[in-house]
Amino acid sequence: MDPPSSTSSEQDSGAKKASPFDNLGRDDLVKKCRGLLGIAQKAKQAKDECQEENRKLKEQLALAETQKTADKECLRAMQEVVESLTQQKLQAAMKVDELEKSLSGLRRELDSAALLREQMEKISVENEAFKRQIDRLTEENEELLGAITGMEGKLKSSEQERESLAQSKITMEQELEKARSESNPSGKEEKLIRKLKLYKNKVQEISAKVLLLKSDRKILLKTVKEYSEQVPKWQKELVNASSVLFAKTRQFEKENNLLKERCAQYERDLEELRGGKSNEDESKNSLEALQVQFETLQLSQQSLSDELQQAVADKTRLQEELENSRTDSEVIDSQKAINESLQKRLTEFEDDLSKNLTELTESKKQLEELHKSNSKLEARAKDYEDKIQQNVLEKEKMEESFKTQNAKHSEQIDTINLKLQQETSAKENLQKQLAELQTKTQETLQNEAVQEN
């Protein structure tokens, strides 16, 4: 049966293409199959290794994807942190702007306080100047009062002299009447001549005193006029300086008006004295006429006239002492009243100065409080600026760290992508090799099956 089978197989093989395994023996085929099985096992092992490696690569890819998502989340969180930091920076900038505005307002308040302080200093200087001016005015008023009292004394002395002159005139007329009735007119005439000369000298002295009073009155009127011209200027300055000092200038104005009234009274008194002088001139003329008429009279009653003159002198001396005592008491009383009024004004002025000083101390305290609050605000602003700078530095550091981390993550992602590409290319190559091995193994198995058949 073998020959026909061999012939049939030969016919089949002849009909088919010749195989490379046909010329091999059984042992060679077994060896060949064993080699192919080993190759298949190796291919299967390589396939398993490739699958395992593929699984690991997939796991690494999944890990890379999760890392990528985590990195995205981290980047999102970082962006949120950056946004929050930018928001905080904007809020800090707004706070800094508000603080700068408040600082500018405080600086304006400090400038206004400095202006107030300068104004207070100017007012204090003006108060000192006005105080000196008031002192000078009080001294001048005292001098005027002294001059007025002197004029009053002079007027009283002139009135006394006028009265004594009138009295002596009456006595002279009486003596002349007596001399007419006497028998020896020669002695009386000489006595009358001496008395007339004496009265003439007294009249000249009185006229000189009246001229002196006129000159004193002119000086006093001039000074009062100057004061009346200067008082409105002082009033304007005092109104601009302080209302308190304005009240004092009004008081001085009232006093000046009183002085003017007293000067007017003295002028009226001087007019009356002038009228008395005209009467004295008339009496002088009449006495000269009497002298002409009684040149032939004798001075028979010289002793009596001497005694009469002594009595008149004693009387005038006593009257002068009485008037001097009265004037001294009046001057003392007026001086006391003036001193009391000046003391009162001085106390009022000191009270005003104390009020101004208290206001100045209060303004100084307010300035010190403003300086303290300004220093505190400047310290707080400096702290805020330091915090803002620290936040900016931290933000810059975080941004740099974010940039470095992003760069590292991007580099890692690039390396992972390269590795994945390399692994996919290697996987594709292995798959190609495996497919080729599978086709080869299938072909070998088919050939072996064909040969066994």
Does the pLDDT of residue 265 top 70, yes or no?
no
Q: What is the mean pLDDT of residues 142-159?
A: 67
Confidence of residue 6 (pLDDT cuts 50, 70, 90): very low
Q: Which amino acid is at 81?
A: V
| 126 neighbors 234 (Cβ within 8 angstroms) | no
Confidence of residue 5 (pLDDT cuts 50, 70, 90): very low
**208-228 residue pLDDT tens:** 665 666 566 566 666 656 655
Does the pLDDT of residue 15 top 50, yes or no?
no
State the Cα–Cα distance between residues 41 and 162, nearest whole angstrom: 173
Confidence of residue 18 (pLDDT cuts 50, 70, 90): low
Asked if the structure places residue 312 within a domain, the reply is: yes
Asked if the structure places residue 332 within a domain, the reply is: yes
Q: What pLDDT is recorded for position 380?
A: 75
Q: What is the mean pLDDT of residues 104-128?
A: 70
**362-376 residue pLDDT tens:** 766 766 776 676 677
Asked if the structure places residue 289 within a domain, the reply is: yes
Q: What pLDDT is recorded for position 244?
A: 54
Q: Quick one: tokens of 155?
A: 């007027």
Q: Give the pTM.
A: 0.25
Q: What is the mean pLDDT of residues 28-53?
A: 82
- Distant-in-sequence, close-in-space partners of 144: CB < 8 Å, separation ≥ 6: 220, 223, 224, 259
State the Cα–Cα distance between residues 370 and 344, nearest whole angstrom: 39
Asked if the structure places residue 128 within a domain, the reply is: yes
DSSP assignment of 182-244, as one string?
Answer: SS-HHHHHHHHHHHHHHHHHHHHHHHHHHHHHHHHHHHHHHHHHHHHHHHHHHHHHHHHH-HH
Q: What pLDDT is recorded for position 310?
A: 63
Least confident residue range of 3-17, 143-157, 175-189, 436-450: 3-17
User: Residue 149's closest CA among 330, 353, 299, 273?
Assistant: 330
Boundaries of domain holding 227: 113-370
**285-311 residue pLDDT tens:** 544 554 554 454 445 445 545 655 665
* Average pLDDT over the chain, rounded to an integer: 66
Does the pLDDT of residue 55 top 70, yes or no?
yes
Least confident residue range of 53-62, 122-131, 254-263: 254-263
Question: How far is residue 260 from each of residues 209, 216, 292, measured CA to CA in Å?
Answer: 23, 15, 47
Least confident residue range of 1-15, 201-215, 224-238: 1-15
Sign of CA dihedral 266, 271, 276, 278: positive
Query: Count of domains in the chain?
Result: 1
Asked if the structure places residue 51 within a domain, the reply is: no
Question: How far is residue 154 from each of residues 14, 118, 149, 150, 168, measured CA to CA in Å?
Answer: 187, 53, 9, 6, 20
Q: Quick one: tokens of 425?
A: 């290319």
Higher pLDDT, 63 or 391: 63
Q: What pLDDT is recorded for position 8?
A: 44
Asked if the structure places residue 364 within a domain, the reply is: yes
Asked if the structure places residue 211 within a domain, the reply is: yes
**333-357 residue pLDDT tens:** 665 666 566 567 666 756 766 676 6
Residues belonging to the chain: 453
Asked if the structure places residue 6 within a domain, the reply is: no
Three-state SS string across 194-210, please? Answer: HHHHHHHHHHHHHHHHH
**159-207 residue pLDDT tens:** 676 676 667 667 666 666 665 555 444 554 565 566 566 656 665 666 5
User: Residue 134's closest CA among 253, 257, 222?
Assistant: 253
